[in-house]
Amino acid sequence: METKKPANRRETEDRRPEGLTSPVEGFNDRARRAVRDEELHDSVELFTNKSVAGRNAVLNALPEAPELRERAYRIKQETMANLDRHLGQMADAVEGRGGNVFFAETGEDVVRYIGDLARRRGAKVITKSKSMATEEIELNRRLEEDYADLDLEIVETDLGEWIAQLAGDTPSHIVGPILHMNRRRITEVLSETAGERLPPDVEALGSFARRRLREKFLAADIGITGANFGVAQTGTIATVTNEGNGRLVTSVPPVHVVVMGIEKLVPRFEDLSVFVRLLARSGTGQKLTVYTNFVTGPRAPGELDGAEEFHLILMDNGRSELLGTPFEEALYCIRCGACLNVCPVYRQTGGHAYGSTYSGPIGAVITPLLKGGKEAKDLPHASSLCGACWEACPVGIPLHDLLLKLRNKQVQEGITGRAQGLAFKGFENTMKNPALYRISGKAGRLAQRPLAKAGAPKTLPGPLGAWTNSRDLPKLAPKPFSQLWKEGI
């Protein structure tokens, strides 16, 4: 394949506000628009159905899957209980291999470290593999804006992430970032980049992407990756991918930077065998992803590949505040996306409705925790509490319980409105008092008569209409169960 170096064609400026730095409030309005988008619905349904079917098939064929799930939970539990010790061990191991370690308390610290590094290295082109941590802090946008004098070109190299970047769009799923796009839209985006009309053919589009991205790989001064796992025992970074871009990002540029959330640690190398077997099966329905990469420090004398300079950034950004709290289990997430695929809310709205890097049930939990409850107050309510997310989670995170705790926290902190609080208090009193319950039932049957059309109320008046805007309100039965019971049913 022909390639040219350097790649001087700058293809995009990345100004996407896709992370937790930008406002995330407004789920209800975005979700309302999303459920009316039939094309989006079809795309989400196709992806999630395929993912769920694949996951079920490979996990059902793994007899030890329940045991692995239990072991994964215990490993994460033990890791969080001793996180400070494991972080110190990780840092010592990386530095012992000649790498550099930086503890970043905030996203600003990460941006400053990489920006200063780019300045010192005279960098112009930075390639990135898929990284939720860098999307969380909007690294691309902030580097381009805060270090504008460097004129950095930052290129996403995961195919889906690259197409989203070219389109000025944001990922809508942890694993499938452009599941919301169909082939027609992808062809439009790549044709605009190519400067010519490309055929809507997978092979032709893929060939163009490989050719263009290879130019960027060869021109890159710095490669940035995330980490699926970091092994404290050895200082090893593990990434699991289905594209070869991860290896090109870590081995072609002279400098490799890893941005890793501190919760991604596992204590021992043998722990990886538990998580690697669960991650691919849960995320994509594969027994194993195509590439499982291990990087332990910079290239050593006598080694054939690897970066000459290695930097590990251990990012906190609010995570340590969850340790020892009722929400600590949110840190056990391995970002497989399985909870998104089974969530009845996500399957109707897609990921953009959440307004955050993290969508679906895990996003509804972790975004308010990292961003702040007031800024994301709709998200804990973006759930039916059916528990499907907990059943699908390969680590057994009780996401539905965490969502309830977040709602309770909102009440305690006064984030929910007074009217909502009074409504739930009234509901509680009604359910506790049989006489009041019977009276409310009679009142409800009387009240629904003028509202009923074709047998069931379609809309409720005033502020109550918010409930029926997107939900059906079933008609109350003519007789309550207690009366039917007395009558012998």
The pLDDT value given to residue 373: 75
User: Would you say domain 27-320 falls under CATH 3.40.50.10420?
Assistant: yes
Residue 19's φ and ψ, nearest 5 degrees, are -110, -155
Q: How far is CA 380 from CA 275, 376, 409, 422, in A?
A: 27, 8, 10, 19
Which residue matches tokens 């039965």? 477
The pLDDT value given to residue 14: 73
Distance of CA 344 to the CA centre of its chain: 16
The pLDDT value given to residue 23: 74
The pLDDT value given to residue 178: 94
Crossing angle of the two packed helices 272-284 and 65-81, in degrees rounded to 10: 120
In sequence order, the 6+-apart residues with CB closer than 8 A to the CB of 310 are 94, 97, 98, 99, 100, 255, 256, 258, 295, 297, 298
The pLDDT value given to residue 6: 45
Q: Where are the domains of the chain?
A: 27-320, 418-487
Residue type, position 352, single letter: H
Which strand (E) or helix (H) includes residue 297?
none
Which residue matches tokens 């940035």? 224
Q: Say if residues 311 and 99 touch (Cβ distance below 8 Å).
A: yes
- The four Cα atoms 259, 264, 267, 269 give a dihedral, to 10 degrees, of -80
The pLDDT value given to residue 9: 61
Closest CA to 387 of 400, 405, 373, 402: 400
Q: Which residues, listed in sequence order, are joined to residue 239 by a DSSP beta bridge?
A: 293
Closest CA to 213 of 177, 181, 173, 166: 166
The pLDDT value given to residue 458: 67
Peptide bond into 6 cis (omega under 30): yes
In sequence order, the 6+-apart residues with CB closer than 8 A to the CB of 336 are 174, 175, 278, 279, 282, 283, 394
Pairing mode of beta strands 153-156, 100-104:
unpaired
3-state secondary structure of 97: coil
Look at the alpha carbons of 90, 335, 288, 216 in this order and tell me if their dihedral is positive or negative.
Answer: negative
Residue type, position 369, single letter: L
Give every residue of the chain whose pLDDT is below 50, as ranges.
Answer: 1-7
List, in sequence order, every beta strand (DSSP E) within 135-247. Answer: 153-156, 222-225, 229-231, 236-241
The pLDDT value given to residue 2: 42
Q: How far apart are the first and last CA of the chain?
A: 77
Residue 402 has which token pair?
A: 């965490």
Task: Compute the half-sphere exposure of residue 241: CA atoms within 13 Å on the CB side of its CA.
Answer: 23
185-200 burial, b at 16+ Cβ within 10 Å, e below that, comes to bbbebbbebeeeebee
Which residue matches tokens 């021992």? 268
